[in-house]
Amino acid sequence: MPDTDTSAPKYKRVLLKLSGEALGFGGGKLGINLDETKHIAEQLARVAASGVQLAVVIGGGNLLRGAQFSAGDERIKPATADYMGMLATVMNGLALQDTLEAMGVETRLQSAVRMETVAEPYIRRRALRHLEKNRIVILAGGTGNPFVTTDTAAALRGTELQAHVLLKATKVDGVFNSDPAKNPYAEKFERLTFDQVIQKQLGVMDIGAFEMCRLAKLPILVFNYKQDGAIERAVAGQPIGTIVTG
């Protein structure tokens, strides 16, 4: 009989983009919510235990956003504000790393902003070696450069590490033709091509990140991480969210 286990991984190597809010409290309250962090970590641990090579790009919006310091105020320059946001992603990475390791999951935290006392510098070949050893690699510090988002970091690292899919975890269950929070009749797309996203002017991720994925032919799966077992379902290729392919 054919194998019908729908929980078996579809992808061998995955790049997961987690927003900082995934580890936060929500509702505008800043900080790291240890319960939410543990809930995310439990899913990541099960994904790694299934044999999937997992890299995670983490945001920092639950702690601060660079734009909040530079908008309408010239005292803190935009580049400085962005570097502050990169440091926030390292704080989230440390919290996620310790939570995973408390569960017995081997991890490595790599930062694009060098700070060797708390994280390895991001080195592509070293990251690949960690993945091959089934360590979860947490990628913090964005790209190490201001004026680009952690979406761009996810697209860049996913391309560099030859991931088979970029999983973009959001609070919305996929890509819609309008904002589902404002329009109860918004239509959800199950599948899209990169060209369709451009033609329909759909906001999958920022344009630089999207174009990088398009050129690399790196599929993007947009899904709601708040749903029970969503990350595992996404890795298994179950019908969840919206998949964007070439």
Say whether 107 counts as a known binding-site residue: no
* Cα-trace Rg, the chain: 17
The encoded tokens of residue 193 equal 């091509």
Say whether 149 counts as a known binding-site residue: yes
Say whether 28 counts as a known binding-site residue: no
Residues 182, 186, 191: CA angle, nearest 5 degrees: 135
Say whether 170 counts as a known binding-site residue: yes
Say whether 195 counts as a known binding-site residue: no
Say whether 99 counts as a known binding-site residue: no
Say whether 147 counts as a known binding-site residue: yes
Say whether 61 counts as a known binding-site residue: yes
Say whether 218 counts as a known binding-site residue: no
CA–CA separation, 154 and 106 (whole Å): 21
State the chain's maximal CA–CA distance in angstroms: 67
Say whether 150 counts as a known binding-site residue: yes
Which residues neighbour 98 within 8 Å (Cβ) at sequence distance 6 or greater? Answer: none
**E-strand spans in the chain?**
13-18, 53-58, 107-111, 120-121, 136-140, 165-170, 175-176, 188-189, 191-193, 220-224, 242-245
Counting beta carbons within 10 angstroms of the beta carbon of residue 2, is it exposed (0 to 12), middle (13 to 18) or buried (19 or more)? exposed
Say whether 129 counts as a known binding-site residue: no
Say whether 17 counts as a known binding-site residue: yes
Say whether 215 counts as a known binding-site residue: no
Dihedral sign (CA 225, 228, 233, 238): negative
Say whether 144 counts as a known binding-site residue: yes
Say whether 241 counts as a known binding-site residue: no
Say whether 210 counts as a known binding-site residue: no
Say whether 111 counts as a known binding-site residue: no
User: Where is the binding site for ATP, in residues?
Assistant: 17-20, 61, 65, 170, 176, 179
User: Where is the binding site for UMP, in residues?
Assistant: 60, 82, 143-150
User: Where is the binding site, in residues?
Assistant: 17-20, 60-61, 65, 82, 143-150, 170, 176, 179
